[in-house]
């Protein structure tokens, strides 16, 4: 039995959570992989009700679970996810971008993963006002964190069994100290892994190549801010944020969430695409499978992804990817096929 903490979030978060619970319950009832799900509050609604975006009780419950699923939260996102990443040392942010059939994607042969460093860069929040007209931000990059993320990128490349190429993305021609250290550290680590090809690319060239030849990438490793921006771009290249899952992984714990935010513009309308969150469940199952040496998790993860693949192939889609199904109708299609 896996104890899963579920942060239901803001905006479209509760609708996506309803889908996620329905899918997990189906897996529990029909596929024999057992879960206990605990719904938790964090984000704008928690801030309003309790005065804290990440209440202590939520944090404690997350810590006690085997893994956490987090729906998107609103304006207080930094106080929730950036804190959780730091407190739980979830240093690797894994964001796959893959073409599914029948999608508004640039090509149908895209299958890449962005591995984003999650603990450093401008996200440490070290910003200062010099005076009322000038503010500065400190950008911290360390060789230890850079090597650690490069090592994780190599692990992903090895598991994917594709080209086994890791592209280190940086801007060391401008940020000579920080990104210079990042690329040197990554290169040292990646070259230690035999069978993996090291490649490097400036972030502007990478942004362009993600559109010009997205099929040429295997695994991209990059710093926190560049990873954030490039993964939104990569999601759009394969058809939109509605299909984009993510994992935040540490040595002992992991949290899974969609790449996108709370999307208040479509909240409550039952038109959100739950695939981003359901594919995040697939990533969670793979991580649980790896951590616990549980083959059943891998089997169900594979089934979950092939179910979504099959559904969209048959033109059953939500509005964002060119269909007319509601969030609930789309979820029902998944559930009936899984069962
Ligand atoms: P943030 O700044 O926190 O990333 P945001 O609200 O600016 O969040 P997103 O929520 O990431 O932006 O997404 C941008 C737009 O993409 C949304 O406004 C919405 O229209 C669309 N979108 C995002 N996620 C989904 C989804 N799951 N299903 C359908 N459309 C989505």
> How would residue 82 be classed by pLDDT, with cut points 50, 70 and 90?
confident
Establish whether residue 260 lines the binding site of ligand 1, counting it when its CB lies within 6 angstroms of any ligand atom: yes
Mean pLDDT of 97-123: 94
What's the gap in Å between 262 CA and the centre of ligand 1?
A: 6
User: For the segment 309-335, what is each residue's pLDDT rounded down to a tens digit?
Assistant: 999 999 999 999 999 999 999 999 999
Q: Are 169 and 221 in contact (CB under 8 A)?
A: yes
pLDDT at 30 over 80: yes
Model confidence at 127: pLDDT above 90: yes
Q: Provide the H-helix boundaries in the chain.
A: 13-26, 44-50, 56-64, 77, 83-87, 143-160, 178-191, 203-212, 224-237, 275-292, 295-313, 327-338
110 pLDDT higher than 90: yes
- Residue 140 bridge partners (DSSP): 121
Residues carrying an active site annotation: 123, 171, 204, 228, 232
- E strands along the chain, which residues? 2-7, 35-40, 67-70, 92-98, 111-117, 127-131, 134-137, 165-170, 197-202, 219-222, 245-249, 254-258
Q: Which atom of ligand 1 is nearest to the CA of 74?
A: 3
Query: Of all residues in the chain, what percent carry a pLDDT higher than 90?
Result: 95
261 lines ligand 1 (CB under 6 A): yes
Q: What mean pLDDT is predicted for residues 207-234? A: 97
Burial 62-87 (b: 16+ CB within 10 A, else e): beebbbbbbbbbbebbebbbbebbee
Local structure of 285: helix, strand or coil: helix
Q: What is the pLDDT of residues 267-323, one digit of tens each?
A: 999 999 999 999 999 999 999 999 999 999 999 999 999 999 999 999 999 999 999
Nearest CA to ligand 1 atom 18: 263
How many C-beta neighbours within 10 Å does residue 336 have?
11
Residue to probe by mutation, ligand 1, list 241, 308, 330, most atoms within 8 Å of CB: 241
* 95 ligand 1 Cβ < 6 A: no
* Predicted local distance difference test score (pLDDT) of residue 295: 95
Atom of ligand 1 nearest to the CA of 260: 11
Q: pLDDT category, 339, cuts 50, 70, 90?
A: confident
Q: Does the Cβ of 266 fall within 6 Å of ligand 1?
A: yes
Q: Mean of the pLDDT values across residues 23-27?
A: 96
For the cut 80, the answer to whether the pLDDT of residue 249 exceeds it is yes
- What's the CA-to-centroid distance between 210 and ligand 1, angstroms? 20
Q: Which ligand 1 atom is nearest residue 232's CA?
A: 11
Give all domains of the chain, ordered by start, each with its CATH number. Answer: 1-95+244-339 (3.40.718.10), 106-237 (3.40.718.10)
The Cα–Cα gap between 285 and 271 comes to: 26
CA geometry: angle at 286 spanning 281 and 287, to 5°? Answer: 95
Helix orientation angle between 13-26 and 275-292, rounded to the nearest 10 degrees: 50
Instruction: Assess whether pLDDT exceeds 90 at residue 21.
Output: yes
Cα–Cα distance, 74 to 11 (Å, whole number):
7
The stretch 127-138 carries a mean pLDDT of 97
Q: What is the pLDDT of residue 303?
A: 96
With a cut of 80, say whether residue 85 has pLDDT above it. Answer: yes
């Amino acid at each position: 039995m896996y104890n899963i903490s579920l942060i239901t979030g803001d905006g479209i978060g509760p609708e996506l959570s309803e889908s996620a619970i329905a899918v997990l319950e189906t897996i529990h009832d029909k596929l024999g992989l057992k879960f206990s799900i605990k719904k938790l509050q964090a984000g704008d609604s928690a801030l309003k009700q309790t005065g804290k975006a990440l209440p202590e009780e939520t944090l404690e419950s997350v810590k006690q679970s085997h893994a956490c699923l987090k729906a998107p939260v609103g304006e207080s996102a930094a106080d929730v996810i950036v804190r959780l990443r730091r407190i739980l040392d979830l240093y690797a942010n894994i964001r796959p971008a893959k073409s599914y059939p029948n999608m508004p994607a640039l090509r149908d042969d895209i299958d890449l993963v962005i591995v984003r460093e999650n603990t450093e860069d401008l996200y440490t929040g070290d910003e200062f006002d010099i005076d009322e007209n000038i503010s500065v931000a400190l950008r911290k990059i360390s060789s230890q964190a850079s090597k650690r993320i490069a090592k994780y990128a190599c692990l992903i490349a090895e598991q994917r069994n594709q080209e086994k190429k890791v592209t280190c993305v940086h801007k060391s021609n401008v940020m000579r100290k920080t990104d210079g250290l990042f690329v040197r550290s990554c290169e040292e680590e990646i070259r230690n892994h035999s069978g993996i090809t090291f490649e490097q690319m400036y972030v502007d060239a990478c942004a362009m190549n993600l559109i010009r030849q997205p099929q040429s990438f295997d695994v991209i490793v990059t710093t926190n801010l560049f990873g954030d921006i490039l993964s939104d771009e990569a999601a759009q290249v394969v058809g939109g944020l509605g299909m984009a899952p993510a994992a935040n992984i540490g040595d002992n714990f992991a949290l899974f969430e969609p790449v996108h935010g709370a999307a208040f513009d479509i909240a409550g309308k039952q038109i959100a695409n739950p695939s981003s969150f359901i594919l995040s469940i697939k990533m969670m199952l793979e991580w649980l499978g790896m951590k616990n040496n549980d083959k059943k998790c891998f089997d169900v993860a594979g089934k979950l992804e092939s179910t979504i693949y099959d559904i969209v192939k048959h033109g059953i889609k939500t509005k964002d990817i060119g269909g007319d199904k509601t969030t609930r109708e789309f979820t029902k299609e998944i559930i009936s096929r899984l069962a």
